[in-house]
Every structure is written in C-alpha cells, then in structure tokens.
Amino acid sequence: MANNKMEYSRLYNLNLIKNNKGYTFIELLLILAFLGILMLIINSLSILGLKTFNFASYQGSLQQNLRLATNFITKETRFASDVQILNLSLSELITEMEKTDNEYHYIYLENNVLKYRYEDKSNYVADKIKELDFNKSTKNILKFDVLGENSTPNYKLGTEVVILNMPQNKEILNSDGVAIRYKKVIPDFPIDEDTNKWDQYVIFTNTIKLTNGSASVIGENASIIINGQNNNTVSLGGNSNISVKELYIKGNLVMEGSASIGSTAIGGTTYIDGNVTLDGNPRVYDQLYYTKNLNTQHWIDIPAIKTDEIQFPNVSMPKFKDKEWYIEKGYSNNTTPQNGMRYYGRTYSFPTWNSYSDVVIVSSGDIILSGNVSVSGILFAPNGKVITGGSANFSGIIIAEEVVLGSSSPIIFKSFNTEDLPF
C-alpha cells in the first residue's frame, strides 16, 4: 500500500513538470515579431497623423499669409498715384530704394518675405511667399499674383486693383515686374461744416469703453473716430470686435483675450496715433498703422506698419443749436418713447423693452439704452455719455463725449437723412 502511494506521488510530480515546461524559444520569437510589427503599424499611423496635422497647419498659415499680402497690397495701392512696376534684381532694387525711398513707397519680396519700405524703413508684411508678380492690366488697373512657398499643390492668390487717384494724363509705368513703387495720396476728409459727410460715421466720440466681453460695432461702409482727449486708452477684451471701414484712435490701443479689429468680410484700415499693446490671442484683420510703440507677444502676427504721422479727418465735436432752433424743428422734452420722436432735454433713458425707429435724441446729459430695447436713429450727447447695456441694440449714428458699450448686441451703422442731424 505504501509502495503504491509513493509511485502515485512520483507520477503526479512528473506530470506537473511536463505541464509547466513554458514557451519554446521559437514561440517567443514569433510573439516578439508580432509585437514589433504591431508597434511599427501604430508608429507609422502616428507619424502619418502628425504629418497630416502639420501639413494642414502649414497650409492654413500659408493661406492666411497670402491673404494678408493681397489685402495689404490692395489697400496700399488703391489710393496711390505715380505707380511704377519694377523688374530689378534684389540688389538693384535696394540700390534704387536707397536713392528714392524718401519720395516713393516700395512693395517687394526679399527672402520669401513681403516687405514695405518708406523713408529708409523696411517693414515686415507677410512671409512664406515664393513669388510676387505685378502686371499692368490697363492704364490704371494693377494686377498682381502672390505664390506661396513649398505648397503642393501650388497655392496662389491674385487680384486687380483700380488706382483711384491716377491722374488722367498718367498711367502705370512698365508692363510687368517683381516690385512696385508709388506715391500715396490720402483721400480728402470731411470738414465739420459739411454735414452731408456725417453719414459715413457710426460713432464719433472722445472716449470709448467696451465693458461687455462680447460688445461690438459693425459698419461696412462707416468709420469710427475716437478723438482721444487726455491721452486716453481704448481697451478691447473678451470677444469684443470693431469692424468698420476706417477706425481712427487718437491715443493708445490695448487688445486682450480674443478681441478683434476688422473681419475677413470687411477689409478696413485702423489708424492709432499712439501705442499698440496686444496680449492673449487678439486678431487684427485690418491694415494697422501706428505712430509710437508696438508691444506684442511673439506668437501674435498682425499687419502693422509704424508711421511718423497720421492725418485724422478734420472733424470736431458738434455744438448744440439754439433752443429756438430745436423748437422750430419739432423737438420737445416729452420723454414718451415713440417712433420718429424728436427729443431735446436732459438725460434720456429708453424703456427696457420694445422697438423705436427713426428717433433723434439730443441730450445735455446722458442717453441710456438697456434691457432688450431696440433703437435706430441719431443719438447726440456732446457733453455726456451714450450707454448701452443688457441686450439693447442700436443702429444709426452715435455722437457723444463718451460711449460706453456694455450691450451683448452690436452697434450697427445705418444710413440716415443728413437733414435730420441735430446740429
């Protein structure tokens, strides 16, 4: 009996040894080969995804740069005169610029960078540009093409610009080339006495404040003038936006967060007679000119050019007419809101709801829009403030000592009859 138990134990242990022999060397090699192939596939897919992402990012940056280049050339040359197309090598062009850049503005390509030069100062406009070609389409139409670098397929933008200030007895000199030089003509601006010119403004003020992160002003064919008394600073933050044809700020501009000036739909120009400070991730779609310092983070790239002087439109804050004039025109101090109302008096506050169109409010104090009220017309407070809040919206023109935009709805330019101007 004891011998049987010992034999059983020996056979049992031998069976355990046979069942726990593990993997063979060949099986281990096969497993390692399979894992290697799997890792190679995963790594290849990761590299492909990274390359695709980098290519898409590069193409997006390239397209944005080409749009900046074409917008800049278009805005610069539209009011130019004495335009000449130059077909010179870079060294020849530099020699020519050193002789005449106090007289002419130049646009040219250097080391795949589009540059603008005037008065011995060259400014960066856009990079990643392989070719720049100019052609004369007609006597006063300039055609140009911009080709991006290292793009497959080739990414190319081109357009034609009508030279509006080309004298009738002149035309664009030379038929084709790689650079241009020109003299720039500033278009005539309105003067205070000509009230017919006020229909091109959406806001005229000495100070503006955007207190709501989504406040905005929109005017495709309108301008904003901020006269900047006491060296004021205009601050844009959050998602605030100003998109107008021309923005003039006599003072400093500070942009933070995701604030923006201009849009891809409205190709405007911004003039800052002061410092420009950019932080966060602001966007500037307009061509921007400034006179003092540009303070920006290294990742922010904007089409900005420093200039010695900015000529502002020759307009000033209008003054009140005599009381008798307002009475003759049908104005009253009746505060009951209604369509077509003509109010002349102290501070006026609209109700926080309903809509009122074609109004003219003349206030010796402030004008206040709040709640969900919707108003269109003319707001005139030369000694006070125009204040918006809540979801209040306004369309028309605002003329005030100070404008405070706290509304989440935009201020929109709307044309009006200049005969209704209250000054």
pLDDT at 284 over 50: yes
**CA atoms within a 13 Å half-sphere pointing along the CA-CB vector of 397:** 25
pLDDT of amino acid 30: 82
Kindly state the average pLDDT of the residues 116-132: 86
H or E stretch covering 276: strand 276-278
- Other CB atoms within 10 A of residue 83 CB: 25
Q: Which of 98-107, 264-273, 300-309 has the lowest mean pLDDT?
A: 300-309
pLDDT at 325: 94
5-14, 15-24, 65-74, 188-197, range with the lowest pLDDT: 188-197
Q: How confident is the model at residue 187, as a pLDDT?
A: 46
As a whole number, mean pLDDT of residues 282-290 equals 87
Quick check: 107 pLDDT over 90? yes
Tell me what pLDDT residue 358 has. Answer: 96
Model pTM above 0.85? no
- 3 state SS of 420: helix
pLDDT digits (tens, 9 = 90+) for 108-123: 999 999 999 988 788 8
The model's confidence at residue 302, banded by pLDDT at 50, 70 and 90, is: confident
The pLDDT value given to residue 228: 78
CA–CA separation, 131 and 144 (whole Å): 10
pLDDT at 16 exceeding the cut of 60: no
Mean pLDDT over 44-69 rounds to 73
Neighbouring residues of 255: CB distance < 8 A, sequence distance ≥ 6: 235, 236, 237, 261, 276, 277, 278, 279, 280, 282, 284
Lowest mean pLDDT across 13-27, 36-50, 164-178, 328-342: 13-27
User: What percent of the chain lies above the pLDDT cut of 90?
Assistant: 39
pLDDT value for 39: 84
Condensed to tens digits (0 to 9), the pLDDT of residues 144-201 reads 999 988 756 677 888 888 887 777 678 888 889 999 999 876 544 433 344 557 888 8
Nearest to 182 by CA among 234, 116, 227: 116
pLDDT at 241 over 80: yes
Q: Which residues pair with 344 in a beta bridge?
A: 362
Residue 277 in contact with residue 297, Cβ under 8 Å? no
Q: What is the pLDDT of residues 77-95, one digit of tens each?
A: 877 878 999 999 999 999 9
**CA–CA gap between residue 144 and residue 136 (Å, rounded):** 9
42 Cβ contact partners less than 8 Å away, ≥ 6 residues apart: none
Q: Is the pLDDT of residue 356 over 50?
A: yes
Maximum mean pLDDT: which of 166-170, 302-306, 316-320: 316-320
CB 376 within 8 Å of CB 370: no
pLDDT of 68 strictly over 90: no
Beta strand segments in 294-423, E: 294-295, 304-306, 342-345, 348-349, 355-363, 367-369, 374-388, 393-405, 411-413
Is 410 exposed, middle or buried (CB count within 10 Å of its CB: 0-12, 13-18, 19+)? buried
